[in-house]
Structures are given as structure tokens and as C-alpha cells.
Amino acid sequence: MPQLNPNPWFFIMLLSWLAFSLVMQPKLLSFTHTNPPSNKILSTTKTTPWTWPWT
């Protein structure tokens, strides 16, 4: 049964993970965000209770 032979498939999986972690991952992590997060001052808003017409 050839699907139980891990000889060629393990090597292909190993090469693909090495290519991803050594080549593609640093390129993907080097991208800068277009909208970097900014330090916003959180202001508390005063809420007024709603007056229901049936109470």
C-alpha cells in the first residue's frame, strides 16, 4: 500500500514547512499595517435614562 509509505511525503511536508517558515513567514511579518493603532484617550460619556411613554 503506497499511502502508508512515508518516504516521499514526509520529505515534501518537511520542505514545505521549511520554505514557509524560512522564506514566506518573514516576508509576511514585515508588512506594515496601513492603519496603526493609536493611543486614544477614553472619555466617559454621560448617559441619560430613557423616559418611556407608558411608565
Instruction: Express each pLDDT in 22-54 by its tens digit.
Output: 888 888 888 776 676 777 777 778 888 888 887
Transcribe the chain into DSSP letters.
-GGG--HHHHHHHHHHHHHIIIIIHHHHHTPPPSS----PPP-PPPP-----TT-
pLDDT of residue 14: 92
Cα 22 to Cα 12, 18, 27: the distances in Å are 15, 6, 9
pLDDT of residue 50: 82
What pTM did the predictor assign?
0.43
